[in-house]
Amino acid sequence: MRAPLAVSVAMFASILLAAPIPPPGPTSSPIGPRPHQAEARVFALALLRATDQISAYYVRPVSREELLETALTRLYEAARLPVPRSLGAEIRESTAGKARTASAETISLEGNQADASEADRAVLDLIQHIHEHIGDAASLRDRSPLLICCQSVAHSLDPYSGVVTGKEMRRNLAVEENAESYGLELSDNAGFGPAAVTMVKPGGPAQQAGVRPGDEIMQLDDKPVKELGRSELLQRLLQPADLPDPHNDLPPPPPPPPGGTLAPAPTKPPALPLKMTFRRPGAKATTATIDAQRFRPEAIAGLSRQDDNSWTYWMDSRSRLAHVRLAALNKGSAGELRQVIAALYADGLRGLVLDMRWCPGGFLDEAVDAARVFLSEGAIATVHARGKEDMEYRSDGQNAFTDFPIIVLVNGETSGGAELIAAALQDRGRAVVAGQRTLGKGSVQTQFALGVPGAALKLTNGVFLRPSGKGIQRKPGAGAGDDWGVQPESDLECRLSPDLARTLKSEWQQQTLRPGASMERLPLDDPDADPQRQAAAEALRDRVQSKTR
Same-domain check for residues 232 and 317: no
- Co-location of 288 and 352 in the same domain: no
Give yes or no: residues 416 and 537 share one domain. yes
Residue 216 and residue 313 share a domain? no
Q: How high is the pLDDT of residue 43?
A: 93
**Is residue 169 one of the residues assigned to a domain?**
no
Q: Is residue 348 part of a domain?
A: yes
Query: For residue 383, what is the domain's CATH number?
Result: 3.90.226.10
In three-state secondary structure terms, 450 is coil
Region at 191 (left for phi over 0; alpha for psi -120 to 50; beta for the rest): left
pLDDT score of 376: 97
Look at residue 15 and tell me if it is in a domain. no
CATH number, domain of 283, equals 2.30.42.10
Q: Is residue 41 part of a domain?
A: yes
Q: Residue-wise pLDDT tens for the chain (549 aa)? A: 444 433 333 333 333 333 456 554 433 445 555 557 888 999 999 999 999 999 999 999 999 999 999 999 999 999 999 999 999 999 999 988 554 434 444 444 444 444 556 778 999 999 999 999 888 788 888 889 999 999 999 999 999 999 988 767 665 555 545 567 899 988 877 767 778 999 999 999 999 999 999 999 999 998 998 888 888 888 888 754 443 333 343 344 445 445 544 445 445 555 678 999 999 999 999 999 999 888 889 999 999 999 999 999 999 999 999 999 999 999 999 999 999 999 999 999 999 999 999 999 999 999 999 999 999 999 999 999 988 899 999 999 999 999 999 999 999 999 999 999 999 999 999 999 999 999 999 999 988 888 787 888 999 999 999 999 999 999 989 999 999 999 999 999 999 999 999 999 999 999 999 999 999 999 999 999 999 999 999 999 999 998 876
Residues 535 and 485 in one domain: yes
Judge if 522 and 414 occupy the same domain. yes
Instruction: Tell me if 26 is assigned to some domain.
Output: no
Q: What is the pTM of this model?
A: 0.83
Phi, psi of 315 (to 5 degrees): -95, -15
Q: How far apart are CA 5 and CA 24, in angstroms?
A: 17
DSSP structure string for 79-123: TT-PPPTTHHHHHHHHHTT------TTT---S-STTSS-HHHHHH
Other C-beta atoms lying within 10 Å of the C-beta of residue 289: 11
- Residue 445 in contact with residue 460, Cβ under 8 Å? yes
What is the residue range of 42's domain?
Answer: 36-95+119-157
Domain annotation covers residue 9: no
Q: Whole-angstrom Cα distance, residue 268 to residue 291?
A: 16
pLDDT of residue 254: 47
Is residue 372 within 8 A of residue 400, CB to CB? The reply is yes
Overall number of domains in the chain:
3
Query: Do 144 and 221 lie in a common domain?
Result: no
212 and 317 share one domain: no
pLDDT at residue number 37: 83
Q: Which of 348, 404, 369, 429 is nearest to 540 (CA)?
A: 404
What three-state secondary structure class fits 539? Answer: helix
Q: Does the residue 17 lie in any domain?
A: no
Residue 359 in any domain: the answer is yes
Residues 236 and 333 in one domain: no
Q: How many Å from the N-terminal Cα to the C-terminal Cα in the chain?
A: 83
Residues 439 and 468 in one domain: yes
Contact 441, 361 (CB under 8 A): yes
* pLDDT tens digits, one per residue of 502-518: 999 999 999 999 999 99
β-strand partners of 316: 321
63 and 185: one domain?
A: no
pLDDT tens-place string over residues 318-355: 999 999 999 999 999 999 999 999 999 999 999 999 99
Task: Supply the DSSP string of 259-318, one letter for each residue.
Answer: T--PPPPP-PPPPPPEEEEEE-TTS-EEEEEE--B--PPPSEE-SEE-TTSPEE-EEETT
CA R_g for the chain: 28
Same domain, 143 and 203: no
